[in-house]
Structure formats: structure tokens, C-alpha cells
Structure 1
């Protein structure tokens, strides 16, 4: 939570929160931890205007969430309201693209946008999820050498033994795929830059509940 307070620039303007793709807090421990985090964010922002939706919610989830003073609604009550904070802890690419392209949030917390679509080529991402691709490109240009979630390799201890390494075989690269250069066009995009901060408080009893989450700010 401290990392959110530190990097959530402009959060004082936020008066409402919309949470999607949380999962079932009564059935899934990470979803329960993420709901607890959402409660902390709402308290920090001093707002009780919080709306959630997930088809996975059961009657127990809905009773618990409404008991916190929040609403459960498939329709977004804040779609036309500026300065809404979006929290999408398990959102698939399609939902993330919809939120970015249609709702144009100034700030949202979701899967690290730089690695969210890494299973697809950059061309595929730009063709199918253009707003995500533009945001990911903006983040990549800001920190091209930083790969979130990749651990730093430690230096091995010298034990007096020498490792014999096999010489790599020369391989032909006739079939090597070279991705074409993409001309990213921001003229119709609602933002010019996207800054991202990975959630750093990932070690604790909550396990991997926050391992891929990142705060994104659009300007």
C-alpha cells in the first residue's frame, strides 16, 4: 500500500473506484487479498463510491462486498464520471483494451501492461489491442532495459572448480523471424505517455496475489 501512496500521482482527484475481474473472494484467496487492498485504496482516497462486477461473484461474495458499503453492478455507474480509478487485477486483454479505449482512465491498476501481451507479437498486439500496444510502447521507451519480474542473477562462488562449457553449434538463421518495425500512431489516442510502477509489496502471506500488478498513469 505504501508504494501506491508514493506513486499514485494525481490520486487526490479520484472520487470513485471501479473494480472488474476480481474473482470470487469467498472461493479464491488472491481475490480476497486484492479486495482487502482495494479497501485500503478506497480509505486512502477517502471515498466510499466503489463499484465492482465479476460474473464469478456468488451470493456470499455479493453480501460481503455490499456489507463493506460498496455496490455490485454490471453497468459501470462511473463511465461518464471523470477521475475514476480502475482496478482490474485479473482482466484479460480484451477487457483491458475496452477500458482503455472507451473509458480513457487517467489511472488504473492492472497486470503489467508491458508483459501482459508478451505471448503475442507486437504486430498482433497493435492490430488487435492497439491502445494496450501504445501504452506498452510508451512504457518500454521510458525504461527499455528494465524487465519487470526478471530476477537479478547472483555471482557464483569460486569453489576451485572450473566449469567446462560446450561450444555452441553454429545454427543457420534462414528461418529466423524478424518482426517488422511498427509506426506507433498516438494522434487519436487519449494519452501521449504512460508511466508504470510495479507493485513492490509482493512478499507476504498473500503469496503471488500482487506479483504482476502495476500502477499505470496516463497523461
Structure 2
């Protein structure tokens, strides 16, 4: 993504953070020392021009700086590109590999920093305030002995979080003491608490809400989808979405809309065209709040630059789209499993385009990295030879890549049976 477009996206993400419970939780937790912070040191940000994760992280960084009366921001990551550096200059941020500052006036922001870097920061800079990975869960895969040997500073800090606290008269400072799983109790590890720079360690964990947009971005599902469409992402300038449902009335539709908006950011999309007869006035007001989103029943566009997004579209609508618009790229129901309840002859009679596409999928293919989706035997007892006129079709091949959500994904059935269909 170009620096100017990245900047626009990051600024939009800042407005998302302002309203989020996550940002409120963070600012509440740092309120007691917020006036003391004059510098934010950020490491392991990633490349904002290349990664949507990094764009969200940069948006949070900038919003924190605003909340803290705009302190100096110093950042470094060896993967920064020339485009990233241009972007940072537009925000007046300093890129510096070497860094020295008073640790009592510095907030370290380490989004997803590897454990080696985290150990190095705590050892070398002795920070007092860090926003980063939870040091307890981030080290919990290590046995206590190995953790102490490899990462002595982190091991000691984790040990301190487990120590019973002296009763201070029942004053609640808002911090949760985090305990970790028992680490091989039969092995005693010695800690020299007198030699470390701290007396206590407090950890506050933050949780994103299920409907926060970055939940989609950070998901395995989104990574799988973007990997599958990576080769065409620069060509896509329009997304046509049908059968979305009502985002103001359905949680499934809200997740589907969140995915739609993130896909637009990942690709080169300048226009999102959508329509569903069940859209309410509230839905239309919601869509108006997004840039480049148009509600339109009639639609025409070059199919080679258009991605059709058809979440849970009925089979009749899917047949109509393939017949009328001849799309090349579709993110929607897997056309094989979606038609599998039909006898082949009946499918050909009722939905000739879909039947021919399914037939093309089932033809043997050279292995090109795509998974060939096979369908179940269709009522073998009623098997009738069905003829297909492949020469008259607008396509020569059909590829299907199915996606699976994970059990702990919050969107339930919002993306069940989802697949990327590439028609060439």
C-alpha cells in the first residue's frame, strides 16, 4: 500500500480506537502515570505499508501519543521499508535504532515483540512502563529452569508476579495479579531479588471485544483469504457484495461487513457496491458513514477488476450472478458443497451454469497448488449421463479454495462454507 493511502487508513483506524473499550481500558490503566510520560519508544511494529496488523498497531500508538499530550515517538524495526519511512515522516515520527531516555518518563510499546527482544529491553533499558505481550503467558511454554537460564530477567519478573502481596489495607489499584501455571514444583529455582532494578511487577491484561475489527484482521481465516487472493489483490478495484444481510439487525452480517471492509483495504478497491433487499434505513445510514460504499441494485463493472463477495447467497442468486455478470473472482459459498444435494441432471436443468462449473471442477487437473474439491457421488442409482457444452462457456477452468474457521473464532456460522472461486 502506498504511504499516502496507508496514512488515510491509519487515521481512520485511530477513530476506531477512540471509541473502543480496549482503548478505554488501556488509558484507564495508565492514568496514574500518564502526565509523567514524555516519550513513547516503539519496537517490533512491523511494516504499516505492507501489513494491516501494523496499521492497527500504528493507529493505537498515535492515539496513545495524543492521549498522553503528544509525547515524542521513537520507533525502530529492521523490516521498515522506504515507504514506511515516508509514512513516518508524514506523522513526524523519529526512526532511530539506538535509543536512550529516562525510563521513568518513557512508555515502551512492544506489539508482538519476540521474547528475545523483550528480555533485551528489560535488561538493557530497565523500563518502568511497558505496553506489550503479557510476560506471564508469553513465557508459559518454558519450564521455570529453562526460562531462568535463557531469560533471567523475564524469569525473575514472572516469579515476582507470583509472590503473595502484602495487604495494603484493602486498597484496590485496579491491577490484576496474574498467576501462571505450576512449573514443575519439584525443581526449585533461586532468584536474586536484591540485584534486580525493581521491587514489584504488576500486569494488567486487556481483551478485545468479539466485534472489534482487528479480530477479523488477526484471524487465521483472514490470513487464508488474503493469501489466496494475493496474486489478484492489485487488480481488484471494485467489490460487489450481495446477500450481506442487515448489519444493524444481525451479528453474522456485522462480521461479514467487517470482512468486506478489511478486504477492500487489503486490495486496491476504490468502490464497494452492495445491495440486499432487506437493508433497513438504519443499514443505509451505516453504509453512508463509510467512504466509497454505495448501495445500488443495478450494477455493471469489468469482471476482471471486480471481486464478488456473496456471503450465504442463495443458489438462485449465485446462478444469476455467474450467468449475467460472468465474474472471474468470487468469495462466497463453495459451489460444490452448495449444490451437492441436487441430482446431477436436476442441477443441470435448473442451474445450468453452476452445473457446468461443478463439472469443470471435477475434471482431472494438473496440480497447481489449488485444492481440487470433489463432490459426493450424486445418487448413483439414478445416474444419468449429462452432456455439458464447455465450448460455449465464458470460462476454461474453475478453481475453488475452501476456508475453515477455527473453533474459537467468535463469528459462529457467519463464514461457514466460504470459498474463493477463481474462474479463468
TM range (shorter): 0.7 to 0.9
- For the residues of structure 2 that align with 1:37 and 1:202, how far apart are their CA atoms? 16
For the residues of structure 2 that align with 1:122 and 1:36, how far apart are their CA atoms?
A: 36
Q: How many residues align structurally?
A: 181
C-alpha separation in 2, matches of 1:50 and 1:38 = 9
8 Å contact kept, 1:34–1:209: no
Quick one: structure 1 residues 192 and 21, their matched pair in 2 at CA, closer, same or farther if it must change by over 3 Å?
Answer: same
RMSD value, Cα: 2.3
Unaligned runs of 5+ in 1: 148-176, 212-219
**Distance in 2 (alpha carbons) for counterparts of 1:141 and 1:81:** 24
Give the Å deviation of 1:138: 2.1
What is the CA deviation profile of residues 175-218 of structure 1, one whole-angstrom value per residue up to 9, with x for unaligned ones? xx76501222211111111101112335411127799xxxxxxx
- Equivalent of residue 111 in structure 1, options 98, 123, 133: 133
Q: Which residue of 2 aligns with 1:90?
A: 112
Name the counterpart of 2:95.
72
Decide whether the 8 Å contact of 2:161 with 2:179 is kept in 1. no
Q: Which has the higher contact order (CA 8 A, sep 6+)?
A: 1
Query: What is the deviation of 1:139?
Result: 2.2
> Could you tell me whether the CA contact under 8 Å between 2:139 and 2:147 is conserved in 1?
yes
Structure 1 residues 202 and 196, CA gap change in structure 2 (3 angstroms) = farther
**1:16 aligned residue:** 39
| Mapped partners of 1:110, 1:208: distance in 2 | 20
Name which one, 1 or 2, has greater alpha-carbon Rg: 2
In structure 1, C-alpha distance between the alignment counterparts of 2:163 and 2:92, rounded to whole Å: 41
Which of 34, 57, 62 in structure 2 is aligned with 1:34? 57
Report how far residue 81 of structure 1 moved.
5.9
Aligned to 2:73: 50
Tell me, in whole angstroms, the C-alpha distance in 2 between the residues paired with 1:58 and 1:196: 33
Alpha-carbon distance in structure 1 between the residues aligned to 2:209 and 2:45: 17
Structure with greater helix percent:
2
Contiguous gaps of at least 5 residues in structure 2:
1-22, 165-176, 220-424
Offset of residue 134 of structure 1: 1.4
Whole-Å separation in 2 of the counterparts to 1:56 and 1:115: 26
1:48-97 deviation digits (Å, cap 9, x = unpaired)? 41011001111111111121111111111x34564211011121111111
Task: Write the distance in 2 (CA, Å) between the matches of 1:13 and 1:61.
Answer: 29
- Show the counterpart of 2:6: none
The TM-score normalised by the length of structure 1 is 0.75
Runs of 4+ aligned structure 1 residues displaced above 6 Å come to 208-211
Q: In 2, distance between residues paired with 1:110 and 1:181?
A: 29
Per the normalisation by structure 2, the TM-score is: 0.40
